[in-house]
Structure 1
Amino acid sequence: RKLRYAYSYVNSDLAVEGRKDPSKKRQDFIVTYTDLPDPTNPNHHPSIPVYPDTLVWKVDYTYSQNDPMVKTYFNHPSYDNYPVVGVTWEQASAFCVWRTRFYESVAVARKQPLNARPEYQLPSDAQFEYAARGGNVKTKYPWGGPYIRNTKGCMQANFKVGRGNYSDDGGLYTVNVKSYFPNDYGLYNMAGNVAEWTITSYNQSAAPMLLDFNPNYTYEAKTQDSKYKKRKVVRGGSWKDIGFFLQNSVGTYEYQDQPRSYIGFRCVSAYPGTDITYRN
């Protein structure tokens, strides 16, 4: 709880908003997470705790006998290949920054060009859906079909099968990330197991404002903002969700400062493709 991560970055959205304001300086576009935030600066935020909240198994389900999960999920080797949970959107975003800078330090050590390093971030809502579909545009689920069971009658993801029925899919809580087959992009658990944070802010009125080219809506919530401005899109559905939330087209939301026992994350990075003249 005492180990925290402090960092800062230039927010391009703030830069765009203030580009024609001569009174703005570069420092006005820098968002900072620090141990000593300035309460008068709306771009200052408290530094981010490094470790997941181990108590989410009890907080989310107060009257459940989840003590074994609290005591073992984050420290027993049996869970090494299980998805991380108990992290807020803020923690997931901070991890992406840390991972980017870690690879930057590796590039420096190897005397590689810094502009060749990957920059990691959470996927946008649209990116997650694109990845979940695995190239199958019209399919309902990531595995490429309209049914939750395969031809042998087995469940194809870890989710809540029915009222009070969490185990017919083979897992009572989370399961090993390779317990089910990947989609056609080779990605595991794009539906079920744990839902996942996206970088996209949740706003039901945002859709008409978005372009059809790489659409994404983000909002840098201030500390004093209402909780409704701190909602982030969550995708994929989880072990505690019914099958509806596993669909490629379905998303929901969670507050950015709330860790959950059923929400995790994965990073994405831009990949420099091959020049179009060489594709033939």
Structure 2
Amino acid sequence: MITLTTYIRIHIHSIFNPLQMQLLKTTRNLVWLLAITGAMASCNVFKKKHDQSTATGWNYNDKEQGNFHVAKPKDIKTAPGLVFIQGGTFSMGATQEDVMGDWNNIPRRITVNSFFIDKTEVANVHYREYLYWLQNVFGTAGQDSIVDQAKPDTLVWRSELAYNEPYVEYYFRHPSYNYYPVVGVSWKQATEYCMWRTDRVNELALINKGFLDKKSQIKKELNGAGQDNFNTKAYLMDEYQAVPGKQAASKSNPLRDAQGRPRTKVVFEDGILYGDYRLPTEAEWEYAAYGYIAENPQKKLRKSKRGEELIANKQIFSWKNNGYDNARYVQKSAYQGAFLANFKRGYGDNMGVAGGLNDNAAIPAEVTSFIPNGYGLYNMSGNVSEWVADVYRPLTEMDGSDFNMYRGNVFKKVDMSGGAGNLRDDKGRIKMVPESDSALRNRRNYQHSYALNYLDGDSTSNVSYGYGVTTLVSDKSRVYKGGSWNDRAYWLSPGARRFLEEDLSSNSIGFRCAMSHYGASEGTSTKSQTGQFFPTRRNKR
């Protein structure tokens, strides 16, 4: 008698050829393998291994052990518009004879840590984007004064004995000048722009990661949100409430709370938010302008893993000295003799003779014109001078730290006088107030929150500034660097420095933004590490 099983097997063999039968067996084995794998997974055989605290032994990112979330170090993404500047040591200060007799930039050796800086100067179209946002958010809400305070002063183009009215009307607004550097912007306005840019970039980062709802954010802000607009610090302090995006509530959300539930709120430790855009310090700006990374022998010697500790070619301008007057391209090519920057060659000569224009720019040129320096930065010499963060002082070696030198600190804390829920100002930012000196008496690193005039008038420096009496220098005097379209070549040297009051502006001064870099100084890759790592050695017992 033929059993049912045998009957079915005979009929299967009659239907399928040997090759097909082999495929059936392979499929059956695969099904068994998947079933076994699932069983093993349920028995925690392949359980995910968690990172463990080297201090306590408890697991990170483990819901069974408190779920303390620790983001893994990863590539530091460069924020929009920025270029990574690998830090180092250099001689800050004059590189040529002090023909002006200012005696305000004595050369001295300092170190600048790695940071980011804009590839180009901020252009008219970028600043108009800022004003457009302000008009929709604050102007629509009836806060026109905030919009008016941000507008550049186009009257800087006027001169009693020159016809510059077309620039007054068109330089900032006409599409032909979209990518020309914005001018007529004071130091205060440039600082405000940097703060606005920080919030817009971080808001988009949260939208792109799915932690903020895109439609509700745009609808809310651009329809007159006023004070209730996105601010990074307000978001982190729970002073800004927003509609979470789809990712926040999904199972794929990598952020979890102590109970293992998806976390809708991002914190800075998650590594999603960018740092603050700001004006570069004078030291950062000058270091970036020289582009000394182009001097690194590592670029030339493939066998060398690290460059020599020297700068072989002291530069006068932002590009390498390669002969003649250092202001023109000297290599044999179609560019030979071309000017490398936009500046005034002499009295009455802003661009040269028709048919043979020397720099081909009577006023500021496009922000990507002329030759970039070693870091790929445009117009660090010429085009427009640029605001930096520092308060101006005729510096001596005693005036600044040799690491990340900067004068301009006012140490602040959050103003809690209004209580939680009322910490934001009329622009939606967290209100900050200077720290109380009485609370700093026991500190050793600083005793006063106001550090703009540090060492002024004391027994150590023997320096005092009587603004309007003996000098024009005050705590509102801010440094600007780089030389402009209307300056002689002397001012194009990154070491040269001048100052202007922080609430004034000019048709020859613009700015670019910077951002601090977090992590290893060498680069933005996960392979970059701080310090030198050697093979571990076993201790003999």
TM-score, length of structure 2 as denominator length? 0.40
Where does residue 9 of structure 1 map in the other structure? Answer: none
Task: Evaluate the alpha carbon distance shift between residue 278 and residue 197 of structure 1 in structure 2; reply closer, same or farther with a 3 A threshold.
Answer: same
Where does residue 346 of structure 2 map in the other structure? Answer: 162
Match of 1:142 among 314, 318, 321: 318
Mapped to 2, the partners of 1:132 and 1:279 lie a distance apart of 31
Mapped to 2, the partners of 1:113 and 1:56 lie a distance apart of 43
Identity %: 35
Amino acid at match of 2:494: N
Where does residue 275 of structure 1 map in the other structure? Answer: 529
SS of the residue corresponding to residue 269 of structure 1 reads strand
Please report how far the alpha carbon of residue 205 of structure 1 lies from its aligned counterpart in structure 2 after TM superposition: 4.4
Mapped to 1, the partners of 2:156 and 2:396 lie a distance apart of 31
Tell me, yes or no, if the aligned pair for 1:236 and 1:245 is still in contact at 8 Å: yes
Where does residue 487 of structure 2 map in the other structure? Answer: 241
Match of 1:122 among 262, 271, 279: 279
Q: What is the count of residue pairs matched by the alignment?
A: 235
Where does residue 228 of structure 1 map in the other structure? Answer: 473
Mapped to 1, the partners of 2:198 and 2:148 lie a distance apart of 16
SS of the residue corresponding to residue 276 of structure 1 reads coil
Please report how far the alpha carbon of residue 207 of structure 1 lies from its aligned counterpart in structure 2 after TM superposition: 4.3
Task: Evaluate the alpha carbon distance shift between residue 266 and residue 277 of structure 1 in structure 2; reply closer, same or farther with a 3 A threshold.
Answer: same
> Is residue 86 of structure 1 aligned with residue 262 of structure 2?
no
Mapped to 1, the partners of 2:148 and 2:190 lie a distance apart of 10
Mapped to 1, the partners of 2:533 and 2:164 lie a distance apart of 54
Where does residue 212 of structure 1 map in the other structure? Answer: 402
Flag structure 1 segments of 5+ consecutive residues without an equivalent: 5-34, 36-45
Amino acid at match of 2:173: N
Mapped to 1, the partners of 2:186 and 2:397 lie a distance apart of 25
Where does residue 104 of structure 1 map in the other structure? Answer: 202
> Is residue 53 of structure 1 aligned with residue 153 of structure 2?
yes
Structural mapping, 1:32-71, within 5 Å: 49-58=149-158, 61-71=159-169
Moved more, 245-254 or 140-149: 140-149
Please report how far the alpha carbon of residue 107 of structure 1 lies from its aligned counterpart in structure 2 after TM superposition: 3.8
Task: Evaluate the alpha carbon distance shift between residue 279 and residue 65 of structure 1 in structure 2; reply closer, same or farther with a 3 A threshold.
Answer: farther
Mapped to 1, the partners of 2:533 and 2:373 lie a distance apart of 25
Mapped to 1, the partners of 2:371 and 2:267 lie a distance apart of 37
Task: Evaluate the alpha carbon distance shift between residue 96 and residue 207 of structure 1 in structure 2; reply closer, same or farther with a 3 A threshold.
Answer: farther
Task: Evaluate the alpha carbon distance shift between residue 267 and residue 204 of structure 1 in structure 2; reply closer, same or farther with a 3 A threshold.
Answer: same
Tell me, yes or no, if the aligned pair for 1:119 and 1:270 is still in contact at 8 Å: yes
1:176-225 residue CA offsets vs partner (Å, 9 max, x unmatched): 12220101100000010000000011011464121111111116679xx8
Please report how far the alpha carbon of residue 275 of structure 1 lies from its aligned counterpart in structure 2 after TM superposition: 2.8
TM-score, length of structure 1 as denominator length? 0.76
SS of the residue corresponding to residue 473 of structure 2 reads helix
Please report how far the alpha carbon of residue 153 of structure 1 lies from its aligned counterpart in structure 2 after TM superposition: 2.0
Mapped to 2, the partners of 1:183 and 1:246 lie a distance apart of 13
Mapped to 2, the partners of 1:62 and 1:72 lie a distance apart of 19
Q: Look at both structures and tell me which one has the larger radius of gyration over its CA atoms.
A: 2
Flag structure 2 segments of 5+ consecutive residues without an equivalent: 1-130, 136-142, 212-265, 296-310, 331-335, 353-358, 411-451, 454-466, 521-527, 535-541
Mapped to 2, the partners of 1:194 and 1:279 lie a distance apart of 44
Structural mapping, 1:8-27, within 5 Å: none
Where does residue 254 of structure 1 map in the other structure? Answer: 500
Amino acid at match of 2:398: P
Mapped to 2, the partners of 1:62 and 1:148 lie a distance apart of 32
Task: Evaluate the alpha carbon distance shift between residue 48 and residue 208 of structure 1 in structure 2; reply closer, same or farther with a 3 A threshold.
Answer: farther
Q: Tell me which protein shows more strand as a share of its residues.
A: 1
Mapped to 2, the partners of 1:80 and 1:269 lie a distance apart of 24
Task: Evaluate the alpha carbon distance shift between residue 50 and residue 211 of structure 1 in structure 2; reply closer, same or farther with a 3 A threshold.
Answer: same
Mapped to 2, the partners of 1:139 and 1:161 lie a distance apart of 19
